Amino acid sequence: MNSRFIKRTTAAASAAALTGAVLAGCGSSSSSSNPLAGGGASASAGSVTVGSDNFLESVLLADIYGQALAAKGYKVSYKLNIASREVTYGLLKSGAITLKPEYNGALLAYLDSVAKTTSPQTSTDQVDAAITKELDPSLEVLNPSTAQDNDTLTVSKATASKYSLKTGSSIADLVTALNGGPVSIGAAAEFQTRYQGILGLEQAYGLKASQITFKSLDAGGTLTETALSQGAVDAGDLFTTDPTITQNGLVTLTDPKNIFGLQNVLPLANKAALNSTGVAALNAVDAKLDSATLLALDVKTQTDKQDPATVAKAWLSSQGLI
């Protein structure tokens, strides 16, 4: 949904203005080189420079990918918490960084207007194929994980109990349980007019607009979190990796009609950065990274305030990846 895309990006002009200042402050756990110096080293040198956008989940994923490569003998340096996609995508093209975590739907929306059509892409393969057509020829996306950080319809604890909804229940299950009855939904104002919102709920799932009492809150933020946690609304738009979901007994409904589109986590890399061993290492990570796992890791970093690098190492070790 565009709200999530907006959260991950800023206006290109603002990002460009920030480039110098942001990069001057970028952290690196194993290298003090200037990220503008370019030449994030080639695979033949066994070196990669892993970057991230400027939010904590991106930093965590960068640590996961970087440590998986380090375990295969790569010399890994980090440029973390750089800025938005407008900056980091350009750094990948220039070779100043050679790898970063991405979200396929948001990346496609950045690259091409195809993601802004009324109906979202319907499969991960379709999204990734569209990305490949639009990417700079020096770049490539690797295998996607099943982990997604996406908009959802999430119900309050009271609503879940009332309608016997649990993990794995779908939006269709809620609509059936309502049996034409009313439901209150809290979300950003644009949720009312988008297919990735009430239009999709009506057209794909048969939830009539006349059944809905809408409360204009925010895009997966504090207002919606609080309203759901306190039972002020029956359902709301939260992002799949929001720790509030597990903390407050909320239930995220599955979306088999795919009205919210796709936001699979995957690596975006400079083609010269990785040999077949490196590609296989990252593909092995994404084969084990699902949405439930990403949510659990986000709780550790965002709620419990654990160091992302430490959380990354513990998870990789538990999966036999390092």
Sheet with 153-155: list strands edge to edge. Answer: 212-216, 183-187, 235-236, 153-155, 251-253
Q: Could you tell me where the DSSP H helices lie in the chain? A: 2-8, 12-24, 56-70, 85-94, 104-111, 124-134, 157-162, 171-178, 200-205, 222-229, 244-247, 276-288, 291-298, 308-318
Helix (H, G, I), strand (E, B) or coil at 218: coil
**pLDDT score at 188:** 86
Alpha-carbon distance of 51 to 100, in angstroms, equals: 5
**pLDDT score at 37:** 33
Are 253 and 308 within 8 A, CB to CB? no
Q: Measuring CA to CA, which residue among 171, 157, 149 is closest to residue 251?
A: 157
Express each pLDDT in 108-129 by its tens digit.
878 864 344 444 556 888 888 8
- Encoded tokens for 82: 């750089």
- Full pLDDT tens readout for the chain, 322 residues: 444 443 433 333 333 333 443 444 444 444 333 333 333 334 444 899 999 988 888 999 999 999 999 999 999 999 999 987 888 999 999 999 999 999 988 788 788 643 444 445 568 888 888 888 889 999 999 999 999 888 899 999 999 999 999 999 999 999 999 999 999 999 988 889 877 789 889 999 999 999 999 999 987 778 999 999 999 999 999 988 888 888 889 999 999 988 887 889 999 999 988 999 999 999 999 999 998 899 899 989 988 999 999 999 999 999 999 9
Q: Measuring CA to CA, which residue among 42, 92, 17, 38 is closest to residue 62?
A: 92
Percentage of the chain surpassing pLDDT 90?
57
Alpha-carbon distance of 308 to 322, in angstroms, equals: 16
Alpha-carbon distance of 51 to 79, in angstroms, equals: 5
Sheet with 75-83: list strands edge to edge. Answer: 75-83, 47-53, 99-103, 265-270, 139-141
**Neighbouring residues of 294: CB distance < 8 A, sequence distance ≥ 6:** 57, 147, 149, 240, 241, 265
Q: H or E stretch including 49?
A: strand 47-53
Alpha-carbon distance of 91 to 49, in angstroms, equals: 11
Domains and their CATH numbers in the chain: 2-149+263-318 (3.40.190.10), 153-253 (3.40.190.120)
**pLDDT score at 121:** 59
